[in-house]
Amino acid sequence: MAWWSDRPTLVAVVTDILYAELTRLRPGSVPPPRPWPEQMPIGEAGLGCDSLEKLSLAAVLGRALRLDRSGLEDHLLARTSLGAWVELAGICLSRDDSSLVFSTSGSTGEPKPCEHPLALLDQETDFLAELFADRRRIVSVVPSHHIYGFLYSVLLPAKLRVPVSRRLDRSTVALAGDLVPGDLVIGFPDFWRLAAYSVDAFPPDVDGVSSTAPFPGALGDSLVRLGLSRLTEIYGSSETAGLGWRAVSDPAFALFPYWSRADYVGGDVLARRLPDGSESRQVAQDHLVWSADGRFVPRGRRDEAFQVGGLNVHPSRIAAALERHPAVAAASVRPMRPEEGNRVKAFIVPRDPGADQAGLAEMLGRWADETLSPAERPKSFRFGSELPRDAMGKAADWDIRS
């Protein structure tokens, strides 16, 4: 059965696509909480979209589901409710559902579209169904418009023939109270960090999955002490889909069985055996360090991005935004160290060396709220006469507590 032929699933996917675009279009505001009723108007009486916002929503939905291949995508604008948009999306997909487009997860400028043939997503899901064959329900806190969310909350439950419960707007405490034996919880590191802090204990026989950012080893130990039966980390990206997996207690990742290392072109290039027997090659988003048994450890992103809450953020973009403020002469941006937190920190060289630092920090906080997405906004500002450098003149880290 095609994934889109299940109406609640298609409603969830369309809703998540529109929710993400509304969030991008309206910085500082939050769309109505999901799930949305199918009767929800797209226009003023419901989502409150004006004509330009409707154009943007239609364009993003059309690109994600490749509705252009049906020749009917222009009819979206004539339809006025969520249910009507879902209905048209289903008609378009019935004509051609051969590929989908996922955007890179960062809210850093224009996300990059990454098109994936459905046959390759099914190839990945076939392996995942073997890995999680004993699970009886999927519980997901990851939106389905993200490739990770689509694989695990749309394709995987269909492959396993188990129900899916979408808990995008539930607290970790409320979610944990609803878990039952046999559940597979689809999350990300920040979600699991909150769960470890707020959950007293997990029910027996509950497994978890994490992806989108590196998983701290100590966090896995905490979750196991709380009763989580098994926690699996998935390594991949919007560009590649899944590449490898590991139990969080393991030091390295194993490649999915259809991927292999392309030795002759370097450690960051992988070869994929396609369902038709041919082969493609893909560059990993991180530098990969390989062990003798064919496992690997990611060692830093090739594009220097890091992740906050599962979203890619680029330090150069954030620093440039801060340097546009007239009070800033130079800025450096880094991720907080584990003991400092899990957000962005900034080091600022003020144009006025005598500026009041507390007042400047407050002013830059407001500037960040206006110019940067929530994941990009620094939560710590340090000030000095020059940017931190090491003995060789290279950019250096700093302590937010000094």
CATH of the domain at 358: 3.30.300.30
337 has pLDDT over 90 = no
Mean pLDDT of 200-216: 92
Q: Of 277, 304, 331, which residue is a domain's last?
A: 304
Q: Is 395 inside a domain boundary?
A: no
Q: How many CA atoms lie within 13 A of 370 on its CB side?
A: 9
Q: Is 347 inside a domain boundary?
A: yes
Question: Which has more confidence, 400 or 345?
Answer: 345
Q: Is 388 inside a domain boundary?
A: no
pLDDT grade for 106, boundaries at 50, 70 and 90? very low
pLDDT tens, 253-281?
A: 999 999 998 865 556 789 999 999 999 98
b (16+ CB within 10 A) / e for 173-184: eebbeebeeebb
Residues 79, 140 share a domain: no
In total, the chain counts a number of residues equal to 402
b (16+ CB within 10 A) / e for 22-34: bbeeeeeeebeee
Residues 262, 140 share a domain: yes
Q: Tell me, what's the pLDDT at 245?
A: 97
Q: Of 66, 96, 126, which residue is a domain's last?
A: 96
Residues 105, 53 share a domain: no
Q: Which domain holds residue 149?
A: 98-304
Give the 3-state secondary structure of residue 261: strand
Q: Tell me, what's the pLDDT at 23?
A: 87
Residues 156, 246 share a domain: yes
Mean pLDDT of 392-401: 74
322 has pLDDT over 80 = yes
What are 168's strand-pairing partners? none
217 has pLDDT over 60 = yes
Q: Is 393 inside a domain boundary?
A: no
- Residue from 101, 100, 131, 123 nearest 279 by CA: 123
Q: Tell me, what's the pLDDT at 108?
A: 39
Q: Is 394 inside a domain boundary?
A: no
Q: Where are the beta strands (DSSP E) in 71-192?
A: 99-103, 113-117, 137-140, 164-166, 183-187
Residues 252, 120 share a domain: yes
Residues 75, 15 share a domain: yes
Q: Where are the beta strands (DSSP E) in 265-341?
A: 269-273, 279-283, 286-290, 296-301, 306-308, 311-313, 328-335
DSSP character for 36? Answer: P
Task: Give the CATH number of the domain where residue 84 resides.
Answer: 1.10.1200
pLDDT grade for 44, boundaries at 50, 70 and 90? confident
- Alpha-carbon distance 187 to 143, whole Å? 10
Q: Is 106 inside a domain boundary?
A: yes
Q: Is 169 inside a domain boundary?
A: yes
Residues 77, 67 share a domain: yes
Residues 203, 64 share a domain: no
Q: Tell me, what's the pLDDT at 176?
A: 84
328 has pLDDT over 80 = yes
Give backbone dihedrals phi and psi of 57, rounded to 5 degrees, phi first.
-60, -45
14 and 81 Cβ atoms separated by less than 8 Å = no
Task: Give the CATH number of the domain where residue 259 resides.
Answer: 3.40.50.12780
Q: Is 401 inside a domain boundary?
A: no
pLDDT tens, 56-65?
A: 999 999 999 9
Segment of 149-163, 191-205, 217-231 carrying the highest mean pLDDT? 149-163
Residues 268, 218 share a domain: yes
Q: Of 96, 121, 147, which residue is a domain's last?
A: 96
pLDDT tens, 218-228?
A: 899 999 999 99
Cβ neighbour number for residue 300 with a 10 Å cutoff: 11
pLDDT grade for 397, boundaries at 50, 70 and 90? confident
Q: Tell me, what's the pLDDT at 225?
A: 93
Residues 91, 15 share a domain: yes
- Give this prediction's pTM: 0.80
* Average predicted confidence (pLDDT) for the chain: 90
Q: Tell me, what's the pLDDT at 105?
A: 56
- The count of domains in the chain is 3
Residues 185, 118 share a domain: yes
Residues 365, 242 share a domain: no
pLDDT grade for 111, boundaries at 50, 70 and 90? low
Percent of the chain with pLDDT over 70: 95
Question: Which has more confidence, 63 or 176?
Answer: 63
